Chains A and B, each alone.
Chain A
Amino acid sequence: MPGNNPAMLQNSDVFDCDAVIYDLEDAVSVTEKDAARTLVAQFLSAMKKQPPMEIVVRINGLDTEYWEKDLEAVVSDKIDSIMLPKAQVRYLKQLDEALSEIERKKGMKKHVAVLPIIELAASVMEIDDIVKAPRVNGVLLGAEDLSSDLEVARTKKGNEILYPRMKLAYACAAYKIDSIDTPFTDTNDNEGLADDCAFAANLGFTSKAAIHPNQVPVINSVFVPTAKNIEWALRVEEATRINAEKGLGVFSLDGKMVDKPVMERARKILVKARKYNLIQEDKQ
Chain B
Amino acid sequence: MKNALNRYVPEGYVPFESASAYKNKERKLIAPKKTSEGYETLGSISDMFDRLQIKDGMTLSFHHHLRNGDFVLNMVCEEIKRRGLKNMKLAPSSVFPGNAILAELIENENVTKLYTDYVNGPVADAICAGKLKELCEMHTHGGRPMAIESGALHIDVAVLGVPAVDKKGNGSGFSGQSACGSLGYAVSDLTYADKVVFVTDNIVDRIDNPQLDGKYVDYVLKVPAIGDPSGIVSGTTKITKDPVGLKIARNAAQLLDEIGLIKDGMSMQTGAGGTSLAVAYYVRNRMLEKGVKGSFASGGITGYFTDMLEEGLLDELYDVQCFDLKAVQSIGRNAAHHAMSGSKYANPFDDNVVDKLDFVILGATEIDLDFNVNVTTDSHGKIMGGSGGHSDTAHGAKVTVITTNLVKSRMPIIKEHVTTVTTPGEDVDVLVTERGIAINPRRTDLLEKLRNSRLPICTIEELLETAYGITGRPEKPAVTDVPVGVVVYRDGTVIDTIYKTK
Which residues in A have some Cβ–Cβ distance to B below 8 Å?
10-11, 14-16, 48-49, 212-214, 216-217, 277-278, 280-283
Decide if A48 touches B469 in the complex (CB within 8 Å): yes
- CB of B454 within 8 A of CB of A15, answer no
Would B469 and A10 count as touching, CB distance under 8 A?
A: no
| Count of residues in B whose CB is under 8 Å from the partner chain | 14
Measured between beta carbons, the chain B residues less than 8 angstroms from A10 are 407, 470
Given A15-B247, A214-B241, A217-B250 in contact, is the A282-B435 Cβ separation under 8 Å?
no
Tell me if B407 and A283 are in contact (CB < 8 A). Answer: no
B123 at interface (Cβ–Cβ under 8 A)? no
- Complex formed: what's the CA distance from A146 to B247 in Å? 32
**Smallest CB–CB gap between B493 and chain A, Å?**
39
Give the chain B neighbours of A214 by CB distance below 8 A: 241, 243, 246
Q: Does B23 contact A (CB under 8 A)?
A: no
Given contacts A277-B454, A281-B452, contact A49 B469 (CB under 8 A): yes
A-B pairs with CB below 8 Å: how many?
32
Between A and B, 16 residue pairs with Cβ closer than 8 Å are A14-B244, A14-B247, A14-B434, A15-B243, A212-B243, A213-B243, A213-B244, A213-B247, A214-B241, A214-B243, A216-B243, A217-B250, A277-B454, A278-B454, A280-B454, A282-B452
Do A283 and B451 have beta carbons less than 8 Å apart?
yes
A contact residues around B470 at 8 Å (CB): 10
Structural contact, A11 and B469, CB atoms closer than 8 A: no
Taking each of B241, B247, B452, which has the highest tally of chain A beta carbons within 10 Å of its own beta carbon? B247
CB distance from A236 to the nearest CB of B (A): 22
Query: Chain A's nearest CB lies how many Å from the CB of B277?
Result: 15
Residues in A with CB closer than 8 Å to B469 are 48-49
> How far, in whole Å, are A14 and B244 apart by their CA atoms in the complex?
8
Interface 1/0 per residue, B444-470 and A, CB below 8 Å? 000000011010000000000000011
**What separation, in Å, do the CA atoms of A14 and B451 have in the docked complex?**
22
- With a cutoff of 8 Å between Cβ atoms, the chain B residues found around residue A48 in the complex are 469
Per-residue contact bits, chain B 244-279, to A (CB 8 Å; 1 contact, 0 not): 101100100000000000000000000000000000
The CA of A217 and the CA of B246, in the complex, are separated in Å by: 10
Q: Known contacts A14-B247, A14-B434, A49-B469; can you find 20 more A-B pairs with CB under 8 A?
A: A10-B407, A10-B470, A11-B244, A11-B434, A14-B244, A15-B243, A15-B247, A16-B247, A48-B469, A213-B243, A213-B244, A213-B247, A214-B241, A214-B243, A217-B250, A277-B454, A282-B451, A282-B452, A283-B451, A283-B452
- Tell me the complex Cα distance, A10–B246, Å: 16
Residues of B close to A277: CB separation below 8 A: 454
CA distance A16 to B244 in the complex (A): 11
A253 to chain B, nearest CB (A): 27
Report Cα–Cα, A277/B454, bound state, in Å.
Answer: 7
Closest residue of chain A to B244 (Cβ to Cβ) is A11
Chain A nearest Cβ from B128, distance in angstroms? 28
Interface class of chain A by DSSP: loop
Within the complex, the shortest CB–CB distance from A27 to chain B, in Å, comes to: 16
CB distance from B484 to the nearest CB of A (A): 33
| Chain B contacts for A216, CB-based, 8 A | 243
Min CB–CB distance A279 → chain B (angstroms)? 9
Which chain B residues border A278 with CB–CB below 8 Å? 454
* A212-B243, A213-B243, A214-B243 known; A14+B435 contact, CB < 8 A: yes
Q: Is the CB of B452 within 8 A of A280?
A: yes
Which 7 A-B residue pairings sit nearest by Cβ, starting from the closest?
A213-B243, A14-B434, A214-B243, A11-B244, A48-B469, A277-B454, A283-B451
| Minimal beta-carbon separation of B456 from chain A (angstroms) | 9
Interface string of B117-147 (1 = CB under 8 A from A): 0000000000000000000000000000000
List, in ascending order, chain A residues with CB within 8 A of B407's CB. Answer: 10
Chain A residues whose CB sits within 8 angstroms of the CB of B241 once the complex forms: 214
Cα of A278 to Cα of B470 in the assembled complex, Å: 29
Name the distance in Å between B412's Cβ and chain A's nearest Cβ.
Answer: 12
Instruction: Find the residue from B244, B407, B435 having the highest chain A CB count within 10 A.
Output: B244
Nearest CB of B to A190, in Å: 11
Q: Which A residues are in CB contact (< 8 Å) with B435?
A: 14
Chain B 198-247 residues near chain A, CB threshold 8 A: 241, 243-244, 246-247
Chain A min CB distance to B150 (Å): 47
Set of chain A residues within 8 Å of B244, measured between Cβ atoms: 11, 14, 213
Q: Measured between alpha carbons, how far is A16 from B241 in the docked complex, in Å?
A: 17
Q: How far apart are A50's CB and chain B's nearest CB, in angstroms? A: 12
Q: In the bound complex, what is the Cα–Cα distance between A212 and B246 (angstroms)? A: 12
Complex CA–CA separation, A214 to B247 (angstroms): 8
Residues of the B chain whose Cβ atoms lie less than 8 Å from the Cβ of A14 = 244, 247, 434-435
CB closest chain-A residue, reference B433: A14
> In angstroms, how far is the closest chain A Cβ from the Cβ of B243?
3
Residue numbers in B under 8 Å from A15 (CB-CB)? 243, 247
Q: How far is the CA of A282 from the CA of B454 in the complex (A)?
A: 11
Q: Which residues of the other chain, A, contact B247 by a CB distance below 8 angstroms?
A: 14-16, 213
Q: How far is the CA of A11 from the CA of B241 in the complex (A)?
A: 15
Q: Mark interface residues in B377-417 (1 if CB within 8 Å of A CB, else 0).
A: 00000000000000000000000000000010000000000
The closest CB in chain A to the CB of B450 belongs to A283
Closest Cβ neighbor of A6 among chain B residues: B410
CB nearest to B469 among chain A residues: A48
Bound complex: CA of A11 vs CA of B244, how far in Å? 8
CB neighbours (8 Å) of B454 from chain A are: 277-278, 280
- C-alpha gap A11/B246 in the complex (Å): 13
Closest to B246 in A: A214
Q: How far is the CA of A14 from the CA of B466 in the complex (A)?
A: 12
Chain A residues within an 8 Å CB radius of B243: 11, 15, 212-214, 216
Q: How far is the CA of A60 from the CA of B207 in the complex (A)?
A: 69
Bound together, the chains give a CA A214 to CA B243 distance in angstroms of: 5
List of A residues within 8 angstroms of B452 by Cβ: 280-283
CB distance from B19 to the nearest CB of A (A): 31
Interface string of B468-484 (1 = CB under 8 A from A): 01100000000000000
Please give the distance in Å from A51's CB to the nearest CB on chain B: 11
Determine the residue in chain B with the shortest Cβ distance to A46: B470
What separation, in Å, do the CA atoms of A214 and B248 have in the docked complex? 12
Chain B residue nearest to A212 in the complex (CB): B243
Bound-state CA distance A10–B466 (Å) is 12
What's the least CB distance linking B211 to chain A, in Å?
A: 39
Q: Please give me the residue from chain B that is nearest to A278 by CB atom.
A: B454
Chain B residues with Cβ below 8 Å from A212 are 243
A48 to B470, CA, bound (A): 9
- C-alpha spacing A214/B469, complex, angstroms: 25
Q: Which residues of A contact B250 (CB under 8 A)?
A: 217
In the assembled complex, the Cα of A282 lies from the Cα of B244 at a distance in Å of: 29
Q: How far is the CB of B446 from chain A (nearest CB, A)?
A: 15
Q: What distance in Å separates the Cβ of A267 from its nearest Cβ neighbour in chain B?
A: 22
Complex alpha-carbon distance, A154 and B247, angstroms? 30
